[in-house]
Amino acid sequence: MVLKPNILSGESPEKNISPHPEVFRAVAKAFSNMGATLSYGDSPGFGNPKSNAQRGGFGKVADEEGVAWADFTNSRMMQFPEGKVIKKFSIAEGVAASDGIISISKLKTHALTRITGAIKNQFGCIPGARKAEFHSVMPTVSLFSQMLVDLNLLLKPRLFIMDGIIAMEGNGPRNGSGRKMNLLLLSTDPVALDTVVCRLINLDPKLVEPLVYGEQFGLGTMTDIDFVGDPVEDFIVPDFVVNRSSKKTTTGTSFLATSFLRRYFFFIDTFKSEIFTKCGRCVEVCPAQPKALSWSGEGKSKPPVYDYAKCIRCYCCQELCPFNAIYVKVPLLGKFIRS
Ligand code: SF4
Ligand code: SF4
């Protein structure tokens, strides 16, 4: 069985980007004690998967608990004729060869899907740069969300565990702030789990498109949820910092309207010049063809600039900037039209 923590980028656990390695340890111990043979891994948006896991503290725990590294670099094409929008996926060999996935996510915000939780964690089962291709061919939140649901229906993780002991609010999934919530959530239904997360952070779950399509496509339920454990009411954080301002981007929107929404409602704003480091990761990871980010000065003398006409609003640059220099703004016009 493969343990799939959402590692994203190998950072110190104190940054709250990933599930805490001690949560990973507890899960590994629990399944080892039941006799499971375990491996683990994740494919980040940038960098070497195993190095990221080592830097994030997962390698040390895995060594101590006898959990082997799974192959998240090579891939195998898996056919999925039942898929609503994607009929085949290139899946990490370590996942494709396993007899089950235990998905370990982090309770945190996400610029594209508002939260990144149980459903979105499986995106890391697609190796490296192939993930970026999905942003190009699924350039709306609706399509991207449907793809995520297809992916979950194909992979069918056996259990979804979420670390919400210290969650991330604000500029997630990488550069947000820690928020103590004292939560550990478990479910066999990722739609139910993420719906409960929405309730906990005072977010209308209908605004989270992977949930809407997850229920529509039969991945799980948003309404018929049985609770076991402490009462949810005791853990609600009404002022959790998350994007609640917009209506759901729906399918069936006309092409003209979709273009309009993407142009005026979603844009990546600016670089914080005082901490700008010219690392160039945002330019490197931009999946748009041609790239929507480029250097504006000779020899990287000035920050990269956006070409919004080319930008597909995938938020990869915001997600993967290691220095919190990129953030998302909803312009006044957008707020006005959405209200
Ligand atoms: S500029 Fe950023 S949001 Fe736009 S396509 Fe490139 S990576 Fe995605
Ligand atoms: S990824 Fe962030 S720090 Fe690096 S060049 Fe882009 S904006 Fe600057």
Atom of ligand 2 nearest to the CA of 283: 6
Rounded-to-integer distance, Cα 258 and Cα 249, Å: 9
Percent of the chain with pLDDT over 90: 64
* Domain closes at, from 200, 235, 270: 235
Per the structure, the complete domain to which residue 299 belongs is given by 255-338
Cβ-in-10-Å burial (0-12, 13-18, 19+) of 152 comes to buried
pLDDT digits (tens, 9 = 90+) for 299-319: 777 778 888 788 887 888 888
Overall average pLDDT of the 271-275 stretch: 52
Whether 46 lines ligand 2, by a CB cut-off of 6 Å, is: no
Whether 38 lines ligand 1, by a CB cut-off of 6 Å, is: no
Does residue 249 form part of some domain? no
Residue 223 tokens read as: 């309404």
Whether 316 lines ligand 2, by a CB cut-off of 6 Å, is: no
Same domain, 282 and 228: no
Same domain, 216 and 290: no
Radius of gyration of the chain (CA): 19
Same domain, 22 and 111: yes
Cβ-in-10-Å burial (0-12, 13-18, 19+) of 252 comes to exposed
Does residue 50 form part of some domain? yes
Whether 270 lines ligand 2, by a CB cut-off of 6 Å, is: no
pLDDT digits (tens, 9 = 90+) for 160-187: 999 999 999 998 898 899 999 999 999 9
Does residue 243 form part of some domain? no
60 three-state secondary structure? helix
Q: Are 86 and 151 in contact (CB under 8 A)?
A: yes
Does residue 250 form part of some domain? no
Same domain, 225 and 264: no
Same domain, 175 and 209: yes
Whole-number Å distance, alpha carbon 120 to ligand 1 midpoint, is: 19
Q: Whose CA is nearest to atom 4 of ligand 2?
A: 279
Same domain, 268 and 214: no
Same domain, 144 and 51: yes
Whole-number Å distance, alpha carbon 32 to ligand 1 midpoint, is: 41
Same domain, 173 and 313: no
Closest by alpha carbon to 326, among 153, 158, 176?
Answer: 176
Q: Whose CA is nearest to atom 2 of ligand 2?
A: 321
User: Is 50 exceeded by the pLDDT of residue 253?
Assistant: no
Does residue 241 form part of some domain? no
Q: Which of 270, 321, 324, 328 to mutate to test the pocket of ligand 2 (most atoms within 8 A of CB)?
A: 321
Does residue 290 form part of some domain? yes
Same domain, 18 and 118: yes
Q: Whose CA is nearest to atom 7 of ligand 2?
A: 325
Does residue 245 form part of some domain? no
Whether 323 lines ligand 2, by a CB cut-off of 6 Å, is: yes
Whole-number Å distance, alpha carbon 319 to ligand 2 midpoint, is: 11
Does residue 247 form part of some domain? no
Whole-number Å distance, alpha carbon 113 to ligand 1 midpoint, is: 15
CATH of the domain at 311: 3.30.70.20
Whether 149 lines ligand 1, by a CB cut-off of 6 Å, is: no
pLDDT at 265: 39
* Domain closes at, from 166, 200, 235: 235
Whether 279 lines ligand 2, by a CB cut-off of 6 Å, is: yes
CATH of the domain at 193: 3.40.50
Q: What is the tally of structural domains in the chain?
A: 2
Overall average pLDDT of the 112-129 stretch: 92
pLDDT at 246: 66
Please state the pTM of the whole predicted model: 0.85
* Domain closes at, from 205, 235, 265: 235
User: Is 50 exceeded by the pLDDT of residue 34?
Assistant: yes
Whole-number Å distance, alpha carbon 323 to ligand 1 midpoint, is: 16
Same domain, 259 and 228: no
Same domain, 290 and 208: no
Whole-number Cα distances in Å, 74 to 49, 71, 94, 213:
11, 6, 8, 29
Q: Are 283 and 274 in contact (CB under 8 A)?
A: no
Whole-number Å distance, alpha carbon 183 to ligand 1 midpoint, is: 33
